[in-house]
């Protein structure tokens, strides 16, 4: 062992970036004279000729910034003449005084006004990061290296103002932030195969858009109607909880080569959004080939996608079922092979006042190993249905020369 180091950090930071100004002061709304508002007389009403004022936003004098208490435990070690390096960090974060706007809070009707913004949210975050690297120069002309990094992060909402009598599965508390919630399908290949099948199934608040070929959704709370109360949380958030990145390289004389991978798992695919645009009949609609090739029809009832129909019913309840499409993947992010020009060719470089020259062939996003399709492997994934299918990640191959004078 060449190095052994222990690290520890503990501190608090704060932020008010997402908090509106002047929330600690009351605001009043002025209705101009003769405007709509106070009226006198019945049945022939007359508006008051005088302006009047009434309370608008209710002040909260306790508004403050959000606080994050972070603790990190780390270890660094090196072995075999620093050929093998190892780093590990375990961290926790407790976020308190999280700002919740009035729209995010639920208060009883007898409060008599809109809910007041407050610093009442609370979230716990924990995780770890590990990185190991091995380098060896086997001879003067040959060397190689391997590197592996991985991380795990999970968060849990402790408090977000959920009503006490709300069922646990409908609460934000106890689940990761921004967890996907949706009505479940009864099965992977469970469709309404006919009108009789629709009439004999559990109804929804609005059945006007339901057609054969739509997914059969689940009445989760068994109250005899399918609505927003049947939305349940997915297993994981749309953010990956696990990421990992193996890489390797070697060099032999003037040649060198390297590859790097990036992978994720433990993440949800989000809602069953398969169409981009408001409807098939719309001029902005875009439907991926995967869906067109796998749509339901009376002759193909075991296909994986529900029926495709024109008109605005794309946003109907029949399209809101949840299919947890797998999103884990391992992608070859980068590969490169290069050659340093030396030897007899170096004489020509000296005449051109070039001190070093290097030719390289590299590529990005060359391979991906995963059942993922469409844009679900993007680093930053959109959640808006109208922008769901973004332009795919490009595969690039570059041939270049690097010169130093």
Same domain, residue pair 10 and 33: no
Residue 242 lies in a domain: yes
Encoded tokens for 368: 């991906």
**Are residues 70 and 39 part of one domain?**
no
Q: What is the pLDDT of residue 276?
A: 40
Residue 368 lies in a domain: yes
**Is the same domain home to 111 and 131?**
yes
Pairing mode, if any, of strands 118-136 and 142-159?
Answer: antiparallel
Residue 261, domain member (yes or no): yes
Q: In this predicted model, which residue has the larger pLDDT, 314 or 243?
A: 243
Higher confidence at residue 270 or residue 264?
264
pLDDT of 275-295, one tens digit each?
443 334 444 445 556 666 667
Q: What are phi and psi of 170, to 5 degrees?
A: -95, -10
**Mind listing the pLDDT tens digit for each residue in 3-40?**
999 999 999 999 988 888 888 888 888 776 555 556 66
CB distance 152 to 127 below 8 Å: yes
Claim to verify: residue 188 and residue 246 sit in the same structural domain: yes
Residue 171 half-sphere exposure toward CB, CA atoms < 13 A: 16
* Tens-place pLDDT, residues 171-217: 999 999 888 888 888 876 678 888 888 888 888 877 666 778 777 88
| Whole-number Cα distances in Å, 99 to 52, 215, 293 | 32, 38, 46
191 shares a domain with 47: no
Q: How far apart are CA 90 and CA 82, in angstroms?
A: 23
Residue 304 has pLDDT above 50, yes or no: yes
Closest CA to 108 of 34, 164, 178: 164
Q: Where are the alpha helices (DSSP H) in 133-219?
A: 195-199
Instruction: Report the chain's mean pLDDT, rounded to a whole number.
Output: 80
- What is the predicted pLDDT for the residue at 321? 59
Question: Is residue 359 a part of any domain in this protein?
Answer: yes
pLDDT > 70: percent of the chain = 74
Among 289, 263, 270, CA closest to 180? 270
Residue 405 and residue 351: Cα distance in Å, rounded? 11
Tell me what the mean pLDDT of segment 213-235 comes to. 86
Q: pLDDT by residue (tens digit) across 41-73?
A: 667 666 667 777 778 778 899 899 999 999 999
Where helices occur in 82-157 by DSSP H, the ranges are none
Task: Give yes or no for a contact between 376 and 327, defined as CB atoms under 8 angstroms apart.
Answer: yes
**94: exposed, middle or buried (C-beta count within 10 Å: 0-12, 13-18, 19+)?**
middle
Those residues whose C-beta lies under 8 Å from the C-beta of residue 78, and which sit 6 or more positions away, are 1, 2, 3, 84, 85, 86
Q: How far apart are CA 136 and CA 134, in angstroms?
A: 7
Pinpoint the alpha helices (H) of 279-353. Answer: 289-293, 345-351
Rounded Cα distance, 159 and 171, in Å: 10
Nearest to 184 by CA among 324, 322, 326: 322
Alpha carbons 295 and 304: distance in angstroms, whole number: 7
- Residue 212 domain flag: yes
Q: Would you state the pLDDT for residue 248?
A: 96
Distance, CA of 234 to CA of 239 (rounded, Å): 12
Same domain, 54 and 71: no
Task: Find the range with the poorest average confidence among 321-325, 337-341, 356-360.
Answer: 321-325
Asked whether residue 53 is assigned to any structural domain, the reply reads: yes
- Where is average pLDDT lowest: 48-57, 62-71, 378-387, 393-402? 378-387
Check residue 247 and give its pLDDT.
Answer: 97
Which residues have a Cβ under 8 Å from the Cβ of 40 and sit 6 or more positions away? 46, 48
Do residues 144 and 196 both lie within one domain? yes
Cβ contact 364:333 at 8 Å? yes
- Clarify whether residues 44 and 149 are in a common domain: no
3-state secondary structure of 164: coil
Residue 289: what pLDDT?
62
> 46: how many CB neighbours lie within 10 A of its CB?
9
Region 154-179: what's the mean pLDDT? 90
pLDDT tens readout for residues 361-377: 999 988 888 876 555 55
Confidence bin at 386 (pLDDT 50/70/90): very low
Mind listing the pLDDT tens digit for each residue in 82-121?
999 999 999 999 999 999 888 888 888 788 888 888 999 9
Q: Is 345 helix (H, G, I), strand (E, B) or coil?
A: helix
Examine the domain organization and report whether 329 and 360 are in the same domain: yes
Regarding predicted confidence, which is higher, 78 or 187? 78
Q: What is the structure's pLDDT at 27?
A: 81
Q: How many domains does the chain have?
A: 2
- Top pLDDT among 71 and 343 is at 71
Residues 189, 108: one domain? Answer: yes
Same domain, 167 and 225: yes
Rg (CA), the chain: 30
Position 207 scores a pLDDT of 67
pLDDT at 335: 96
Q: What is the pLDDT of residue 147?
A: 97
Spatial separation of the C-alpha atoms in residues 284 and 399, rounded to whole Å? 38
SS3 content of the chain, % helix, strand, coil (to 5): 10, 40, 50
The domain of 33 spans 25-58
Residues 349, 201 share a domain: yes
């Amino acid at each position: 062992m060449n190095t052994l180091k222990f690290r520890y950090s503990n501190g608090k930071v704060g932020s008010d970036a997402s908090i509106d100004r002047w929330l600690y002061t009351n605001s009043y709304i002025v209705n101009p004279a003769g405007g709509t508002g106070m009226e006198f007389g019945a049945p022939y009403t007359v508006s008051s000729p005088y302006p009047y004022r009434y309370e608008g936003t209710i002040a909260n004098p306790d508004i403050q910034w959000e606080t994050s208490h972070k603790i990190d435990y780390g270890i660094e070690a090196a072995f075999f003449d620093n050929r093998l390096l190892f780093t590990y960090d375990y961290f926790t974060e407790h976020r308190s005084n999280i700002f919740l706007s009035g729209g995010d809070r639920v208060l009883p009707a007898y409060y008599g006004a809109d809910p007041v913004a407050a610093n009442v949210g609370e979230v716990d975050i924990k995780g770890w990061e590990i990185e190991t690297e091995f380098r060896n120069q086997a001879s003067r002309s040959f060397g190689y290296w391997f590197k592996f990094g991985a991380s795990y992060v999970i968060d849990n909402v402790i408090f977000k103002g959920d009503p006490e009598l709300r069922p646990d599965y409908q609460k934000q508390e106890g689940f990761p932030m921004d967890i996907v919630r949706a009505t479940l399908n009864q099965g992977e290949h469970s469709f309404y195969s006919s009108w009789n099948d629709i009439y004999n199934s559990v109804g929804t608040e609005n059945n006007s858009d339901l057609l054969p070929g739509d997914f059969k959704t689940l009445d989760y709370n068994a109250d005899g109607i399918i609505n927003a109360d049947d939305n349940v949380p997915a297993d994981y958030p749309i953010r990956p909880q696990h990421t990992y990145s193996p890489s390797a390289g070697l060099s032999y004389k003037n040649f060198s080569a390297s590859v790097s991978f990036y992978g994720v798992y433990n993440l949800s695919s989000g809602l069953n959004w398969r169409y981009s645009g408001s409807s098939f009949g719309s001029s902005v609609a875009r439907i991926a080939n995967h869906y067109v090739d796998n749509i339901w029809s009376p002759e193909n009832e075991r296909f994986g996608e529900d029926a495709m129909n024109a008109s605005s019913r794309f946003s109907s309840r029949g399209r809101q079922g949840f299919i947890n499409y797998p999103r884990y993947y391992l992608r070859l992010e980068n590969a490169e092979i290069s050659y340093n020009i030396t030897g007899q060719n170096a004489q020509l470089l000296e005449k051109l006042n070039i001190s070093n020259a290097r030719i390289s062939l590299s590529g990005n996003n060359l391979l991906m190993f995963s059942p993922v399709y469409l844009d679900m492997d993007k680093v930053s994934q959109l959640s808006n249905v109208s922008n769901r299918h973004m332009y795919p990640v490009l595969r690039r191959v570059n041939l270049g020369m690097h010169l130093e004078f």
